[in-house]
Amino acid sequence: MNKEIPFSPPDINESDIASVVQTLESGWITTGAKCRDFASRLAEYTNTKNANLFSSATSAMEMALHFFGVGQGDEVITTPYTYAATSNLVLHTGAKPIFVDVAKDSFSIDIEQVDNAIDVNTKAIIPVDFAGYPVDYAEIKSIAEQKAAMFSASDDSSIQRTLGRVLLLLDAAHSLGAKNNDKTIGSELDFAAFSFHAVKNLTTAEGGALVYNDIASIDNGFINKELSKWALHGQDKSAFEKTTGGWQYDIDLIGYKCNMSDISAALGLSQLMRYDAILAKRKAIYELYNRMFSQYEEFIIPPFDSENKETSYHLYPLRIKGYEEADRDTLIMKMKQIGISLNVHFKPVVMHSAYKRLGYNIDDYPNAYNMFKNEVSLPLYSKLDLNDAEYVAKAIIEYCIK
Ligand SMILES: *Cc1c(COP(=O)(O)O)cnc(C)c1O
């Protein structure tokens, strides 16, 4: 009988369950005190002044673009090496995603090519911390500032006029707890968006957050109020505020409906409390894989080794030299037969049918294709036993080393 090793089950313990049950019994289950508490602890953890919670990272980023006034006729630069959420949400606003290839032998967007891609229509850049590994925030910020003269603010957006350059929105769906210059990331660009989807490092089942400081001279308190409105039909008071501040409210803008519930926040709070231990366990597995695979020249271990950056150990993307897509897919099938679940991150967005129909073509992104064709993601989660991780690595080594 083979052992079953799933790819990424959630880590839910007794205290998580107790926290959720307590909220269920409290008489308040939608956005309320638990959300307020989770948001403030998240801001503290990510070295930022403020946080807003949403039903997903997708809606968090989409609301950030609405807040900034991004829409029809605008362009948003992002990477094809991501989940479709990142570019789908750009399309939802009516703007056009401009994909910029990853750098050679890297999973991160090529910053030199970003520089060339910025034009008068560019309103935002959404880089992705793939697998939890930080992009070069300082370089991206410096390019955005150098290109500020080219930025053309919409007449009806005082926020765009105040910032005076493209918005820098980090897709940090993978990178909660990653470090840049020894500091937990979150405050480096204008916004960082985290995902608390069931497979992410910290989960609320479904959920997301935006963290931020003041942006140029735009006060974080103002940003907080505007984002809350965007997530709740433009309503100027939350349901909770109505219980204390009277029933009267105004619909101030035509917003969406993507706030977080207190049930989710209760789970998030409990997970955040023990997040250091979750990260430490993920790191131990990651390092075990690195030790084992680096002994063979057939493998390319993740290019996440840097003096001033530390990944959040969200994914372990292993590449196999000489492999094409079909070889990689056979490896995944063979491992599945012995109970080991592997995955692929990511099929570049432009390879999906809906994007091909929009006219995008993978031939324009050769570096992304080279990273994708021979990549497999290994089981990496806090409940994975180190012996089981070793078993996974041994099985892959035995299969790949002829
Ligand atoms: C998971 C993920 C998202 C979306 O997060 P949701 O909370 O599911 O909306 C966005 N970007 C990347 C890179 C992701 O992996």
Query: 57 C-alpha to center of ligand 1: Å?
Result: 6
The tokens for 30 are: 């939608």
Q: Which atom of ligand 1 is nearest to the CA of 85?
A: 10
Given a cut of 70, whether residue 131 has pLDDT beyond it is: yes
Can you tell me the distance from the alpha carbon of 350 to that of 122, in angstroms, rounded to the nearest whole number?
Answer: 19
Question: 346, 325, 333: which is closest to 396 by C-alpha?
Answer: 333
Query: 348 C-alpha to center of ligand 1: Å?
Result: 14
Query: 195 C-alpha to center of ligand 1: Å?
Result: 6
| pLDDT at residue 244, rounded to an integer | 85
Query: 315 C-alpha to center of ligand 1: Å?
Result: 13
Helix (H/G/I), strand (E/B), else coil: 50: strand
Segment 50-73 shows an average pLDDT of 98
- Say how far residue 181 (Cα) sits from the centre of its chain: 20
Q: Does the CB atom of residue 62 touch ligand 1 within 6 A? A: no
Question: 200, 203, 211: which is closest to 313 by C-alpha?
Answer: 200
Q: What is the mean pLDDT of the chain?
A: 97
Question: What per-residue string of b and e applies to 360-384 under the rule 16 or more CB within 10 Å gives b?
Answer: bebeebebbbebbbbbbbbbbbbeb
| pLDDT at residue 375, rounded to an integer | 98
| pLDDT at residue 21, rounded to an integer | 98
**Which residue has a Cα nearest atom 2 of ligand 1?**
173
Given a cut of 70, whether residue 277 has pLDDT beyond it is: yes
Model confidence pLDDT, tens digit, residues 343-391: 999 999 999 999 999 999 999 999 999 999 999 999 999 999 999 999 9
What is the residue whose two structure tokens read 């205290």?
15
Q: What is the pTM of this model?
A: 0.98
Model confidence pLDDT, tens digit, residues 179-223: 999 999 999 999 999 999 999 999 999 999 999 999 999 999 999
Q: How many CB atoms lie within 10 A of CB 304?
A: 23
Question: Percent of the chain, pLDDT > 90?
Answer: 96
**Which residue has a Cα nearest atom 5 of ligand 1?**
57
Ligand 1 pocket test, candidate residues 99, 197, 199, 346, most atoms within 8 A of CB: 197
Model confidence pLDDT, tens digit, residues 279-315: 999 999 999 999 999 999 999 999 999 999 999 999 9
Q: Does the CB atom of residue 175 touch ligand 1 within 6 A? A: no
Model confidence pLDDT, tens digit, residues 63-86: 999 999 999 999 999 999 999 999
Ligand 1 pocket test, candidate residues 62, 76, 195, 380, most atoms within 8 A of CB: 195
Taking the CA atoms of the chain, what radius of gyration do you get in angstroms? 21
Residue 64 in contact with residue 52, Cβ under 8 Å? Answer: no
Query: 277 C-alpha to center of ligand 1: Å?
Result: 23
Given a cut of 70, whether residue 1 has pLDDT beyond it is: no
